[in-house]
Structure 1
Amino acid sequence: MGDDRCVAGTRGKQTVRDMILSLAAIGVVVAAVYFFIPHNDSPSAEQKAVQTVDYRVEVATARRAAPYPVAVPKGLPESWRATSVSYKASNDGKGGAWHLGMLDPEQEYAAIEQSDAPAAKFIKDVTLGAEKAEGKQAVGGAKWDRYKGEKYNALVREEPGVTTVVTGTAPYGRLAELAASLEAKKG
């Protein structure tokens, strides 16, 4: 009976020893993967991780399809990068929506949103619920309404037949810079 306890005690020590050796082997493999697989932790890596899109084809399509002049930036520095683009037509010819998402030079998000849908609902949707704020923003020769929200700020211009919203996480100055670059054309 004494021998059984001795064997059981040895087995317990071997099991713990084997487990520690297994964990050490796994640790060596993980370290090798980390050191030998290329990765980039530099600040510019985050900037390069977001895909830049070419929006020329979508602009031409939207300008032909939209019942309003579609606005796109003209003359912005290359440090502004387009990251998303879409035009969604509506079934009844009203409420078509143009979207062009961008990153500004500080990697803040800014988007151009346009639609001929009812303005109040459209503004609320694209600004993620931002509320009209005090004051106006001078953009070129026009005054745009300011909106402030938890996630997005926005500059809004309502014209007959179209509402243009420049919105995002970028500060008002950057949103104004984007708004000032807009050129609206019908295709």
Structure 2
Amino acid sequence: MERFTQGFLGYAVAMAVCLLGVGAFLFVTPTGDSEHIPSVDYSIDAINARNAAPYQVWVPEATPKDWVPTSSRLTGQGVVTWRLGFATAARSHAMLAQSNEQPAGEFVNRMANTSTAVGTQQIGGVTWERRYREDKNQRTLVRILPDVALVVTGQADWPELATLAASLRQQPASTATPAPSPSASASGS
């Protein structure tokens, strides 16, 4: 027995036993071939935004069924900002950001990571400004209304961003009593 605990042979036997244990563990551990992207339910943030925002909130309706909502964050009191992120069918990122922050241009520039317009695009009969930041591969669609700035941005391609922008529907103003301050409502990041 003493010869198995000393020298190279003892080391080789111990190593073989360890490798067999690891191999058996890997063999019985299930692996998934399908991708899993965690999804969030943003309906509560949509309701809270309608209750808290001094503007009519825009909510995506009828996004493609293979898009996954991945994050929702509602912040503010008076100045209300809602960010809603999606993994698109191509598994790129697209985000809707809306806010009544003033001046609206500062909010838009921050969300787009650039202040330079590269053109416009018609979506559903409405003109959106296009912005592109090459070093971040970030595309952005911007629409500034009198009471709210809408930003659709991400690494998704232009058609995917246009799909998100086209899905936006302005919600009727809430007649409910305003909800408690949504200063840190978050369902993701």
Q: Give the TM-score, by structure 1 length.
A: 0.81
Tell me the equivalent position of 2:162.
Answer: 176
Q: Structure 1, unaligned stretches of length 5 or more?
A: 1-10
Q: Distance in 1 between matches of 2:25 and 2:55?
A: 54
- In structure 1, the residue matched to 2:17 is 25
Q: Distance in 1 between matches of 2:71 and 2:48?
A: 15
In the other structure, the counterpart of 1:3 is: none
Describe the SS at the equivalent of 2:116.
strand
1:178 positional shift: 0.7
More helix by percentage: 1
Distance 2:82 2:65 in 1: 22
SS at structure 1 position matched to 2:129: strand
Q: How does 1:43-122 map to 2 (within 5 A)?
A: 45-46=34-35, 48=36, 50-90=37-77, 93-94=78-79, 96-117=80-101, 118-122=103-107
Runs (4+) off by over 6 Å: none
Q: Bigger relative contact order, structure 1 or 2, given CA contacts below 8 A and separation 6+?
A: 2
Q: Does 1:123 align with 2:108?
A: yes
Structure 1: distance between partners of 2:69 and 2:88: 9
- Which has the higher mean CA deviation after the structures are superposed, 66-75 or 172-181? 66-75
Q: CA RMSD in A?
A: 1.9
Distance 1:52 1:99 in 2: 15
Equivalent AA in structure 1 for residue 83 of structure 2: H
2:118/2:132 contact within 8 Å kept: no
Equivalent pairs, count: 167
Q: Percent identity?
A: 35
Contact between 1:102 and 1:110, CA under 8 Å: does it hold in 2? yes
Which runs of 5 or more structure 2 residues have no equivalent in the other structure? 175-189
- Report if the CA contact (8 A) 1:133-1:148 is conserved: yes
Q: Secondary structure at the match of 1:161?
A: coil
* Secondary structure, aligned partner of 2:127: strand
Q: Normalising by structure 2, report the TM-score.
A: 0.80
Residue 182 of structure 1 aligns with an amino acid whose one-letter code is: L
CA distance in 1: counterparts of 2:126 and 2:118, whole angstroms: 16
